[in-house]
Structures are given as C-alpha cells and as structure tokens.
Chain A
Amino acid sequence: MRNMLLISRGANVMPLALQLVRQPALFLADTYLKDIPNYPFKDVDTIFLRFPVAVKDEEERKQKDPHESSWMEGALHLPAARSLIFALMTFVEGERLGRVMVNRLKAGGHIFAHADPIEHSGYWDRFHYVVSGQPGVIFRCGGDEVQMHSGELWWFQNALEHEVINNSGVDRIHLIVDIRTQYVQARGHLPQRPLEASP
C-alpha cells in the first residue's frame, strides 16, 4: 500500500464525537462544499473549523495567500478537536496548520472519485482522524483500498484520485487536518544559508 498510511489506532475521539452528536445543527450551518454543482461531496455535510476566508473580488484574491486558513465559528463549538489537531501537529512536526474540517458522509453515501488540486495537495499533507467509522466504509486512493475504523489516524495522498463509499449503515465522520510538514526544495536540497558577514 503506497498511497495511504495508518499512523495510529486508539486516538481519543470520543470527546469530539460527543460534541458532534450533541450539536447536529453544526453540520448544516454552512453547505458551501455540498452546494457546488457537480462536486463530489453532495452526500457530505461539513463543519468548517479552519478554512480560507472568502474573498470579495479577483483583486483581493491575487493579493491573498491562497494557503492561509483562519479559525471559523465551527471551532468554537468543537473545542475537543483542538487537542487532536495540535497533538497531530506535534507528532508530524507540522510547520503550518491549514484547513480543518469535520466531514459527515451519510450511510449509503458516496464521495465520488476526484483528485484534489495539486496547488493544494502539493503544499499540504492531509490527515484523517476517524471519529466514527464502521465496517463497510471503503476508502480508495489510487490502487489502495482500506476500511478506516473509529479512533484511527491516517495519512493519504490526496493528489491522487480517491473516493469513499459508505456501506456501513451509519454516518462516517472524519476530522480532516491539513498540515504543512518539513519543506524541501523541489530539487531535493535545502535553501542556501544567508552569506556570512565579512569580518
């Protein structure tokens, strides 16, 4: 298996799961992703914890760092996510925190095959905490196919085509965290150090 990696099992996702089950309206507060026509996420409800702030116009878009995400209101209602997010940042020695979302794929739902844009997937590493995942959920990435279970933490290569089928009979809920890890020059070497000052 080359495109997906099980990082750990046994993450304590129950505090977050409880906050989610007690606040179901959060999933319907912002249907931005779901409403995009012909987008793969029509069966997915999303809570945005961190996401790029919407821009007013093209001029603002050009000036903005496309990778900059800000904390959203969803994060205020799900404080249990913070310990998972920052534990992961430490574990992978993250240098920058990007998008953080909770995705709920309904039973019988399908995230249709797609590859995330390289501008994004080439910059960030994508991690998934499985808050609720029962047998019958199949996650395919490239030629790899796995079932992810509650409490597991996974990395996968979202630059490749991937899709999810939820045949488990219950919602599949993941905490998705984008983290930029160690930056290496495209040519495979580190940037040169500044020239030392002359004596």
Chain B
Amino acid sequence: MITYAVERAVDVMEEIKPLLLQHWQEIALDQDKVPLNPRYDVYLEYEARGELLVVIARDSGKIVAYFTGFVLRGLHYADLVTLRQDIFWIDPNFRDEDSLSTLERGMIAHDLFAKVKDEAIARGVKRAFYAAKIDHDVSGVFEALGMKPVETYWSAWWGE
C-alpha cells in the first residue's frame, strides 16, 4: 500500500538524507566538482515561514517518493502565490510501469503530484513551476499533468 501525505521537513529530514545522496548520484550536474551539501537550516527557515511544501509517499512506512517545493509570493508578482518545485524523486524500484502487478507503482508520479497540487491549492497557489533536467528528462510526467514548457535554464561551469 502506498500513501501520500504532507509532512514536515523537521520530522522527515533524517530519513530523507540518505535518499538525497542516492538522488544526487543519479542526476546531479558536475558531480566531480560539486559535492552534495544541502543547506538544511535554510529549508527549516522556509518551513518556519510556511513556505516549504513537502509531500512524501510511503510504502509500509518506508519513503518511496518525495516532492519538495517552495510556496511563495512572486518577487515580481506579490499578488500571486506560486509553487516552485525544488526536487522530486521516486525510488527506482517503484518506477516500473510495465506490469499490471505494478500498476500501483506506475501511479506513483500521478498520485504524488496530485497530492502536491491539492495541498498547494489549499495554500492559495495559483501557478506552479516544475523543472526537468535535459539529461534526465521527465517532462512526460509534467505533460501528463497538463503542464506546458515555458522557460529554459542555461548553465556553465565557471569554476577552476
């Protein structure tokens, strides 16, 4: 059984840390130059202000997916509450959509983002921004949610 719930970062942080490492190893840019070192204190600051949304999917208590995002009034649009995705991840063992016997697993992305949307709307969010990496393109997930591409991020390494 997989359930989805809004949880507090302060409660779930220690559980997520090892999963973050797995997540980073799978998709992060410039891993040879930039070690994973999250600013957990800043996440907690956002949470204290009510600006952090964390949704966790669990299977018998074990985290199998997570979404984190920021619920903010826009810097340019103070009247608009926006959800900006930070990260999301689904346990690789739960990504298989090929078999009827794993139908529940195949629904994880759909159900995770449905929970995110419900909670975001309850918090007054009117617009959402999600991101997909070019090298790990999950834009199909966002298209299935009825979203459309609106902006492209560019990056360069300027370090040594």
Contacts and interface: CB of A to CB of B under 8 A. Distances in A.
B62 interface: yes
B137 interface: no
A102 interface: no
A135 B5 CA distance: 9
B96 interface: no
A135 B2 CA distance: 12
A107 B62 CA distance: 12
Given A107-B60, A108-B60, A135-B61, A167 B11 contact: no
Contact of B58 (A145, A149, A167, A170): A167
Given A135-B11, A149-B11, A169 B62 contact: yes
B60 A147 contact: no
Contacts of B11: 135, 149
Interface size class of B (residues with CB under 8 A): 10 to 19
Interface string A43-65: 00000000000000000000000
Given A135-B12, A147-B7, A168 B1 contact: no
Interface residues of A, number: 14
Interface centre among B2, B3, B15, B59 (most CB of A within 10 A): B3
Interface of B: 1-3, 5-7, 11-12, 15, 56, 58-62
14 contacts: A107-B61, A108-B60, A135-B12, A135-B61, A136-B58, A136-B61, A147-B7, A165-B1, A167-B59, A167-B61, A168-B58, A168-B60, A169-B61, A169-B62
